[in-house]
Amino acid sequence: MKNDNLHIELLPKEKVLRDPVHNYIHVTHQVILDLIDTREFQRLRRIKQLGASSFTFHGAEHSRFEHCLGVYEITRKICDKFARNYPTQKPGDGLWDDSERIVALCAALLHDVGHGPFSHTFEGIFNTDHEAITRMIITNPKTEVNQVLKKVAPKFPEMVASVIGKTYPNPQVVQMISSQADADRMDYLLRDAYFTGTQYGSFDLTRILRVIRPYKDGISFDRGGMHAVEDYVVSRFQMYQQIYFHSVSRSMEVILDHLLKRARYVYENSELQVVDQLAPFLEKNWKLDDYLSLDDGVLTTNFGIWRHHPDRILSDLATRFLDRKPLKSAVFDSSTKSMIPKMKKLIDEVGFNPEYYTAINDSFDLPYDLYDPHAENPKTQIEIMEPDGSLTELSELSRLVRSISGEETGDARFFFPKSMLLKTDQTQIFDPTYQEFQTYIHNGHLVNPKKK
Amino acid sequence: MKNDNLHIELLPKEKVLRDPVHNYIHVTHQVILDLIDTREFQRLRRIKQLGASSFTFHGAEHSRFEHCLGVYEITRKICDKFARNYPTQKPGDGLWDDSERIVALCAALLHDVGHGPFSHTFEGIFNTDHEAITRMIITNPKTEVNQVLKKVAPKFPEMVASVIGKTYPNPQVVQMISSQADADRMDYLLRDAYFTGTQYGSFDLTRILRVIRPYKDGISFDRGGMHAVEDYVVSRFQMYQQIYFHSVSRSMEVILDHLLKRARYVYENSELQVVDQLAPFLEKNWKLDDYLSLDDGVLTTNFGIWRHHPDRILSDLATRFLDRKPLKSAVFDSSTKSMIPKMKKLIDEVGFNPEYYTAINDSFDLPYDLYDPHAENPKTQIEIMEPDGSLTELSELSRLVRSISGEETGDARFFFPKSMLLKTDQTQIFDPTYQEFQTYIHNGHLVNPKKK
Amino acid sequence: MKNDNLHIELLPKEKVLRDPVHNYIHVTHQVILDLIDTREFQRLRRIKQLGASSFTFHGAEHSRFEHCLGVYEITRKICDKFARNYPTQKPGDGLWDDSERIVALCAALLHDVGHGPFSHTFEGIFNTDHEAITRMIITNPKTEVNQVLKKVAPKFPEMVASVIGKTYPNPQVVQMISSQADADRMDYLLRDAYFTGTQYGSFDLTRILRVIRPYKDGISFDRGGMHAVEDYVVSRFQMYQQIYFHSVSRSMEVILDHLLKRARYVYENSELQVVDQLAPFLEKNWKLDDYLSLDDGVLTTNFGIWRHHPDRILSDLATRFLDRKPLKSAVFDSSTKSMIPKMKKLIDEVGFNPEYYTAINDSFDLPYDLYDPHAENPKTQIEIMEPDGSLTELSELSRLVRSISGEETGDARFFFPKSMLLKTDQTQIFDPTYQEFQTYIHNGHLVNPKKK
Amino acid sequence: MKNDNLHIELLPKEKVLRDPVHNYIHVTHQVILDLIDTREFQRLRRIKQLGASSFTFHGAEHSRFEHCLGVYEITRKICDKFARNYPTQKPGDGLWDDSERIVALCAALLHDVGHGPFSHTFEGIFNTDHEAITRMIITNPKTEVNQVLKKVAPKFPEMVASVIGKTYPNPQVVQMISSQADADRMDYLLRDAYFTGTQYGSFDLTRILRVIRPYKDGISFDRGGMHAVEDYVVSRFQMYQQIYFHSVSRSMEVILDHLLKRARYVYENSELQVVDQLAPFLEKNWKLDDYLSLDDGVLTTNFGIWRHHPDRILSDLATRFLDRKPLKSAVFDSSTKSMIPKMKKLIDEVGFNPEYYTAINDSFDLPYDLYDPHAENPKTQIEIMEPDGSLTELSELSRLVRSISGEETGDARFFFPKSMLLKTDQTQIFDPTYQEFQTYIHNGHLVNPKKK
């Protein structure tokens, strides 16, 4: 056993946490229980997993806390399966060394511990980086997480961080937590499907866990379970199309982005009341401890104050976010992108500042990776193992997977105020402007009216 | 038709909202869509349905927003069923007058609109009353809700408020929204079961909706569906036992209660930083608009500030709430209640102020009503209709229901710091105090050690 | 280990069978795979689990084959749980000796192997006894089952048979297979609920498996899981009320019973064509091999021949069974039982032979046992274990269970031809007879019209 | 209204049948209730929906009876939706004329009424044709179905038959019952997924029913629901790959085919006992009434007799079918097909008659149609309607659908006795033959050992 110098304490009796997706989260190690109880991990209860998606799917109020528990639980099941069916006999045989279990479990649990409120938008404005912060939380000796991890071994925090950073030497452990078919993706698909109330994400986890197996360079799947893996990849594609790329959620993210940008502008150029927890970020002088005080409620509490601010753009955007008043949008492509400047001009004419009331949002840029066997890191392909032990990359076996591989699948949208679509008897004085604007949109797409 | 002077505008096309419990929420009336879009209703997104229960069941992050939509949806289905199968022929025939639909739907949607963050605890401290506030939101001419309702008819807000206040003349409409088997209870049981991930609340809604029927004095159920109604009542009982009365959730409510009490004490006796939205409540001088600025995030944002306050009780309780450090508890009854003063004294001895670190919490007092056919208001019995039209009260037909009727079913618990249960090798100096304390507890109950 | 002289062969790789209720049935022992492949066990595919209930719930076509697999799977999970958490340390410590696993698994799989087509009705007519036949199949050296079992040990068939016969010395093994909360009941409740499409039987198996534990005299449940066990008992009660005692299913069983009785009468008194497989039973001279040739299809194939027989009662009853023409029924009790002779006379008058066209069917007699802690065998109570190891009988802790314990819960029904309820304008010549008959029935119950 | 001369009788009160897939089947017309009660329709209870697939998926015992009810129920829901949202205003407007409802419902219910036991195999041997028989059952004046239909109108049976035969003039009605996205396919995917216990078939029916809409030439789907339709097509593909084309089920069909062939051979060349119901088919002289006496049980009852027949091939194949002893198989393609004659020769050498113990089975030929927009009948494409009313064929919008369109997706397999794979220490005398045979198979595929 490689890691036999770790101090591993088992609980006198297994504890369970009720979970709607996995039924129970099973905890058998003291270190896992202690990590869950840390301040840094409990904080994840106050951060929504899907951010602005809950404005579209009202059930999706679930937190990053439960997602992290779910990734831990799937990892635990994979370890159980590997330990039972593929225990290593001698070093280098490509089988599973169960002394790797504890580092895998801790990395699974902590892989997202650095996330903040509405991470993707917040990071763009305030230059935070949740991956770097995850590493800081794990390795900074002041955090409770670090102190808990150190009880296992002095170097243990760095081991856990290296798994998340993908530099850990054992590729099986790394790929459990991050690869094209890892515990992270498996949990979020199932969980987001459950809480949004859609079925697209509901692949057959039990079957995938039956066919998953270690090999020398990482993780693969038995040939007999190819269709279960194919179904998982298709589910992921469908979740992106239907949930993660939904235009209303993206519109609310646009509003959030513009609101935070305006807040920074007002803060720098006039006066803005902010609560303690947010101030360091507007001051551009924040520490880890400041970051750990943020959560969704801190942001919305500020917005609740700002909605009464004299700056009309700020107060309007705050109101739009709190009261869910999304922008509208239309799809464009390279042939119709040229319409956008004209449309912005019309929007400006009726009194909306285009900088804050329009946006181009490209779901291709969304920080999710679709399945791509030709990506830079060839290790993260999904490999299928034939009965004789040879490996085949999934898209060679599956026409469905092939059809969605290596291509971008999102859409590019132009966002604008809903009132631009008002019918002319409602708009009165600006009638011709509204009318012209509306000629640029047909069937939800930008069009060039001259070419019609 | 009674209400033929109402202005009712239908949407050009039905809209739907995806819902994990009912699959879809169907909206066909402009007024319903407009109500959902109001500031007051959108605010419910930021208020958890189950408050502190999410500390026990981590999936239970669902909001009052979606519960209100669910109550609306069940009410809509009941109206559909009544209109199809039991349309009134002449006044007083005890059948359904579909001109009552719009008032029923609005009342269903708005029945909880006055709820605030962690209502039950908050109300105890700050003397707010969510039912009174619900009525204010509906009838106060400054709210968006009121303005939307008035488009239906000038008196319409009062009509809707009277349904919620149970003074509306048509008992069928009133009982749809509030009775022993109403749309409110049906939705919260199903929804809370879904999001906690338990099965206890999963009765057969489809079957109940098949057998529900109007009669002169309200709502009853066909004899053939007696078992479906019985199952609903048993489900409710089990949800109370297993979810709503859970000792850890109650412990977190105790901490919240003590935290808010301490904050008020510090505010009044020394100095306390509070964010704008909470200040009026500590000042005891709040208006409806202040109340509408509150949400869960405002409270936790304050707690995030207070955790750094020099008052050690305040900062400790804030930390306990944010980082989920519940008190422990044990069940007592009339024969062991007398142990409590001694136990408090021991708790005091090791340094915890019993006023803030102990509590007696009686789940009998929890603001939920179990089925009780002998309650003060006999109209809210569940009535079963025989083939010949005669009515029988449910508990006369069902042994299961009879067994849980008219009795209190909760338990009384004494809450105390977890460290009181530390084993002596961990407690060192206070050993004898801890040891003595622990003799008062056996199998999770208070005991009188002398009588053992 | 007690049973260390057994020859136990593991499969090179676990095999699974897809199962809608348990997701997968996991097979790890060669003997289990071989038993499943025997002629006697495969025969169970052709015997419906619920017999005539599929006439009421059309989804309930599931077979005894899959139920037996389900009981095996639950038993396997219980053994896993016991082996992990409660392994015996020394003889007599009341914990689990995992060398008992193989006998438990085989007994679970084979506990119903002696069932025949529509067992309960068939047995009444032809004096077969599925429990005795189960033992014969296991112990008779000519069966494939016996030959497979003998490979484990020469005495192994008798060991397995004694578990099913409840004479096996280890009460833990016996109670896994037959007690008030055994793998048999757990599987059939879940399975019958799934295939009928009702929810009543859906208790929380995962939670029950978490709290089940061995003790000296058998099997008990942790105090913390009391509510899960309570829910299981209530589910069972509801399944009996709603599914197993359904009046239409009982009516079809009455028809089957009368049909077989008439067939025997015709066979003995005139001439009747029967297929090979049924003949020995009408000859009252059958052997085990004959019994193993029976299945549901053999019976219906005979009925398909008999529907053309000149005996009008025989052909009519065969047609009624094949084409689902149930009798009607009404509930009676001791006070109204006296009406039945008069009603039979009226039925006779309009031309139906009461011996074949009426019946008294008492669901109390149905071969299912409701929870009864005061039954003759006190060992089969459901015991709850407190933290200190003491035991409490479930109904002492649960008001719900108490309310349905130790009492009969079925209903007594009088069955008669549906045409007796025809309205008089349809019946013409026999009008007064029909009219009189109908005065004896009100709200689905027999009544004494004079007392009304 | 076009069909205003039909006599349509509504039930005094809606009746429901409990259904695991649709929760309830709702019946509101007397004619539907009467059709369900006919002898011909009740017969479908005794015919399995999936034939030999239950040998692979033991839960799949569901009958054609319930599938027909399910197709009816989906059709009913489509009619409801069309009548509410797209009622015709004037002839030829492409909207829905609700007077078509009754013919649609009857055709939906009866579309499979002509199926017999293990249809696809049986038809190949005995030259029956379930589609022709469906028409006969509907139009032959001796059937109960015909008599019930005639009560609606004298020409009504022919109208119903023409819908099933696709010659009915209204393409909307025809496409509800048979098109690439019809009620038939929707029900069987959901139902087969439910009873096999797999998830592949679980598309979102509710959403599809939201977006389905009539147009002039048939049925289309709103653009907004494109992904739901895409998911349905992918589900269908996956069900074929995973369930319908499963090699073990096909192997059992091969055995059944060879068994019936051998039975015919024995019947014609020596002596064979058969039960009354099967005899006319071996005599090649059957009538409709004979066909209506067949069911699964009649076949297995014959097999139960034949397993004792002196013809060893017949008795062995009967035993194999009853006791589930499948042949093994391996995939071949054009490059390895040439190995088959050699392999047959080896099989012959060890004593198996290749005519009865081998088979080439091509799942491409299975009687299911995968989505193909380029099929002979271009009307059955799946059309998506843009907001402006224009239509686009689904595979133009969906990469996933495109990837599985217009191509064959099954596999070709060579079936042979399992014992050919025995390892040499088990086979003894014929060792070299077995050894050679095994060199032709690798990773489940035929290979040319010389080229390896």
Domain coordinates in residue numbering, chain C: 10-245+372-403, 250-325, 327-370+410-452
List phi, psi (to 5°) of D443.
50, 35
Cβ pair B37:A323 closer than 8 A:
yes
Report chain B residues whose CB lies below 8 A from the CB of C241: 227
- Answer whether residue A14 shows pLDDT above 60: yes
Task: Report helix angle B312-322 to B296-306, nearest 10.
Answer: 130
Distance CA B176, CA B163 (A): 10
| Choice between C381 and B57, residue whose per-residue pLDDT is larger | B57
Please give the pLDDT value at position C367: 33
Task: For residue C409, give the H/E element and its range.
Answer: none
Q: pLDDT (tens digit, 9 = 90+) per residue, A419-440?
A: 999 886 666 666 889 999 999 9
Interface test with C, best of B206, B231, B236, B244 (most C CBs within 10 A): B231
- pLDDT band at D329, cuts 50/70/90? very high
> Which chains does chain D touch, 3 or more C-beta pairs < 8 A?
A, B, C
Distance CA C247, CA C229 (A): 28
Please give the pLDDT value at position A87: 96
Give B406→chain C minimum CA distance, Å.
13
Beta strand A412-416 with A328-332: parallel, antiparallel or unpaired?
A: antiparallel
Name which of A19, A38, A293 is nearest B197 (Cβ-Cβ): A19
Report chain A residues whose CB lies below 8 A from the CB of B63: 58, 61
- pLDDT band at A380, cuts 50/70/90? low
Instruction: Fill in the amino acid letter for D149.
Output: L
Classify domain A248-326 by CATH architecture.
Answer: Up-down Bundle (1.20)
Report chain D residues whose CB lies below 8 A from the CB of A400: 234, 237, 400, 403-404
Name which of A38, A69, A295 is nearest B58 (Cβ-Cβ): A69
Considering chain D, what percentage of its residues have pLDDT values greater than 90?
81
List phi, psi (to 5°) of A86.
-135, 50
3-class secondary-structure state, position C426: helix
Classify domain D249-325 by CATH architecture.
Answer: Up-down Bundle (1.20)
Cβ pair C210:A16 closer than 8 A:
yes
For residues A116 and A294, is the Cβ–Cβ distance under 8 A? yes
Q: Environment class of residue B302 by beta-carbon count within 10 Å: exposed (0-12), middle (13-18) or buried (19+)?
A: buried
- Kindly state the tokens that stand for C309: 């027989």
Report chain C residues whose CB lies below 8 A from the CB of D61: 45, 48, 61-63, 66
Domain A327-366+409-452 has CATH 1.20.1250.30: yes
| Closest chain C CA to residue D276 | C305
| Closest chain D CA to residue A397 | D409
Name which of A194, A198, A293 is nearest B18 (Cβ-Cβ): A198
Instruction: Of A204-213, C185-194, D313-322, D369-378, give the lowest mean pLDDT range.
Output: D369-378
Report chain A residues whose CB lies below 8 A from the CB of B293: 304
Task: Catalogue the long-range contacts made by B333-339 (C-beta closer than 8 Å, 24 or more residues apart).
Answer: B333/B412, B335/B448, B336/B445, B336/B446, B336/B447, B336/B448, B337/B412, B337/B446, B338/B448, B339/B440, B339/B446, B339/B447, B339/B448
Q: How far is CA A427 from CA A312, A423, A433, C264, in A?
A: 21, 7, 10, 88
3-state secondary structure D210-231: HHEEEECCEEEEEHHHHHHHHH
- pLDDT band at D408, cuts 50/70/90? low
| Class of domain C327-370+410-452 as given by CATH | mainly alpha
| Choice between D367 and A282, residue whose per-residue pLDDT is larger | A282
Please state the separation of Cα C100 from the chain's center in Å.
26
Distance CA A409, CA C378 (A): 66
Report chain C residues whose CB lies below 8 A from the CB of B388: 442-443
Polymer length in residues for chain C: 452
DSSP type of residue B380: G
Any idea what the Cα angle at residue D359 is, between residues D358 and D363, rounded to 5°?
150
Beta strand A218-222 with A383-385: parallel, antiparallel or unpaired?
A: parallel
What topology does CATH give the domain A10-245+371-403? Hypothetical protein af1432 (1.10.3210)
Closest to D436 measured CA to CA, from D425, D426, D421: D421
Please give the pLDDT value at position B442: 94
Cβ pair D198:C18 closer than 8 A:
yes
Cβ pair A210:C16 closer than 8 A:
yes
- Answer whether residue A373 shows pLDDT above 80: no
Name which of A43, A59, A275 is nearest B301 (Cβ-Cβ): A275
> Which chains does chain B touch, 3 or more C-beta pairs < 8 A?
A, C, D
Instruction: Of A406-420, D56-70, D86-100, give the lowest mean pLDDT range.
Output: A406-420
Same fold, C250-325 and C327-370+410-452: yes
Report chain B residues whose CB lies below 8 A from the CB of C404: 399-400
- Answer whether residue D284 shows pLDDT above 90: yes
Report chain D residues whose CB lies below 8 A from the CB of A199: 202-204, 231
Distance CA A410, CA A421 (A): 24
- pLDDT band at A368, cuts 50/70/90? very low
- pLDDT band at C450, cuts 50/70/90? confident
Report chain D residues whose CB lies below 8 A from the CB of B24: 206, 210
For residues B79 and B107, is the Cβ–Cβ distance under 8 A? no
Q: How many helices (H) and strands (E) does chain B have?
A: 23, 11
CATH number assigned to the domain covering D327-368+409-452: 1.20.1250.30
Beta strand D23-29 with D10-19: parallel, antiparallel or unpaired?
A: antiparallel
Cβ pair A223:D400 closer than 8 A:
no
| Closest chain A CA to residue D444 | A387
Distance CA C72, CA D153 (A): 55
Please give the pLDDT value at position D452: 56
Beta strand C218-222 with C383-385: parallel, antiparallel or unpaired?
A: parallel
Instruction: Fill in the amino acid letter for A177.
Output: I
Please give the pLDDT value at position B365: 42
For residues A258 and D424, is the Cβ–Cβ distance under 8 A? no
Cβ pair A198:B273 closer than 8 A:
no
Q: pLDDT (tens digit, 9 = 90+) per residue, A246-273?
A: 999 999 999 999 999 999 999 999 999 9
Distance CA C213, CA C391 (A): 12
Residue indicated by tokens 């003894």: D428
Cβ pair C61:D63 closer than 8 A:
yes
- Answer whether residue A374 shows pLDDT above 90: no
Where on the phi/psi map is residue B132: left (φ > 0), alpha (ψ -120 to 50), or beta?
alpha
Residue indicated by tokens 């047959």: D344
Cβ-Cβ contacts under 8 Å between A and B: the total is 131
| Choice between D364 and D386, residue whose per-residue pLDDT is larger | D386
3-class secondary-structure state, position B447: coil
- Answer whether residue C369 shows pLDDT above 80: no
Report chain D residues whose CB lies below 8 A from the CB of C198: 18
Give B238→chain D minimum CA distance, Å.
24
What is the torsion angle, in degrees rounded to the nearest 10, for the CA atoms of residue A193, residue A199, residue A201 and residue A204? 120
Please give the pLDDT value at position B379: 45
Concatenated DSSP letters for D176-210? Answer: HHSSTT-HHHHHHHHHHHHHHT-STT---HHHHHH
Distance CA B86, CA B89 (A): 9
DSSP type of residue D87: B
Report chain B residues whose CB lies below 8 A from the CB of A323: 37-39, 42
Cβ pair C399:B399 closer than 8 A:
no
What topology does CATH give the domain B327-369+410-452? Growth Hormone; Chain: A; (1.20.1250)
Cβ-Cβ contacts under 8 Å between A and C: the total is 10
3-state secondary structure chain A: CCCCCCCCCEEEEEEEEEECCCEEEEEEEHHHHHHHCCHHHHHHHHCECCHHHHHCCCCCCCEHHHHHHHHHHHHHHHHHHHHHHCECCCCCCCCECHHHHHHHHHHHHHCCCCCCCCHHHHHHHHCCCHHHHHHHHHHCCCCHHHHHHHCCCCCHHHHHHHHHCCCCCCHHHHHHHCCCCCHHHHHHHHHHHHHHCCCCCCCCHHHHHHHEEEECCEEEEEHHHHHHHHHHHHHHHHHHHHHHCCHHHHHHHHHHHHHHHHHHHHHHHCCCCCCCCCHHHHCCCCCHHHHCCCCHHHHHHHHHHHCCCCCHHHHHHHHHHHCCCCCEEEEECCCCHHHHHHHHHHHHHCCCCHHHHCEEEEHHHCCCCCCCCCCCCHHHCCEEECCCCCEEEHHHHCHHHHHCCCCCCCCEEEEECHHHHCCHHHHHHHHHHHHHHHHCEECCEECCCCCC
Cβ-Cβ contacts under 8 Å between C and D: the total is 131
| Closest chain C CA to residue B198 | C204
Sequence-distant (≥ 6) Cβ neighbours of residue C449 within 8 angstroms: C439, C440
> Which chains does chain C touch, 3 or more C-beta pairs < 8 A?
A, B, D
Cβ pair D59:C298 closer than 8 A:
no
Please state the separation of Cα D192 from the chain's center in Å.
11
DSSP type of residue D63: B
Cβ pair D231:A238 closer than 8 A:
yes
- pLDDT band at A366, cuts 50/70/90? very low
- Kindly state the tokens that stand for C304: 């398909």
* Mean pLDDT of the A298-317 span: 98
Closest to D188 measured CA to CA, from D105, D129, D112, D246: D112
| Class of domain C10-245+372-403 as given by CATH | mainly alpha
Residues of D with CB under 8 A from a CB of A: 198-200, 202-204, 223, 227, 230-231, 234, 237-238, 241-242, 386-388, 399-400, 402-404, 407, 409, 442-444
Give me the tens of pLDDT residue by residue for chain B, a chain 452 residues long. 577 789 999 998 899 999 999 999 999 999 999 999 999 999 999 999 999 999 999 999 999 999 999 999 999 999 999 999 999 999 989 999 999 999 999 999 999 999 999 988 999 999 999 999 999 999 999 999 999 999 999 999 999 999 999 999 999 999 999 998 899 999 999 999 999 999 777 788 999 999 999 999 999 999 999 999 999 999 998 898 899 999 999 999 999 999 999 999 999 999 999 999 999 999 999 999 999 999 999 999 999 999 999 999 999 999 999 999 999 999 999 999 999 999 999 999 999 999 999 999 876 643 334 445 565 554 468 999 999 999 999 988 988 888 888 666 678 999 999 999 988 666 566 688 999 999 999 999 999 988 75
Instruction: Fill in the amino acid letter for B325.
Output: K
DSSP type of residue B166: T
For residues C168 and C159, is the Cβ–Cβ distance under 8 A? yes
Distance CA D42, CA D69 (A): 11
Please give the pLDDT value at position B217: 93
Distance CA B76, CA B31 (A): 14
| Closest chain C CA to residue B241 | C227
Report chain B residues whose CB lies below 8 A from the CB of C400: 234, 237, 400, 403-404
Residues of A with CB under 8 A from a CB of D: 198-200, 202-204, 223, 227, 230-231, 234, 237-238, 241-242, 386-388, 399-400, 402-404, 407, 409, 442-444
Q: How far is CA D101 from CA D22, D96, D106, D108, D112, in A?
A: 20, 9, 9, 10, 19
Report chain B residues whose CB lies below 8 A from the CB of D24: 206, 210
Please give the pLDDT value at position B450: 81
Report chain D residues whose CB lies below 8 A from the CB of A328: none
Name which of B23, B85, B210 is nearest D206 (Cβ-Cβ): B23
Q: pLDDT (tens digit, 9 = 90+) per residue, D103-127?
A: 999 999 999 999 999 988 999 999 9
For residues A261 and A382, is the Cβ–Cβ distance under 8 A? no
CATH number assigned to the domain covering C250-325: 1.20.1250.30
Whole-structure pTM value: 0.94
Distance CA D249, CA D239 (A): 14
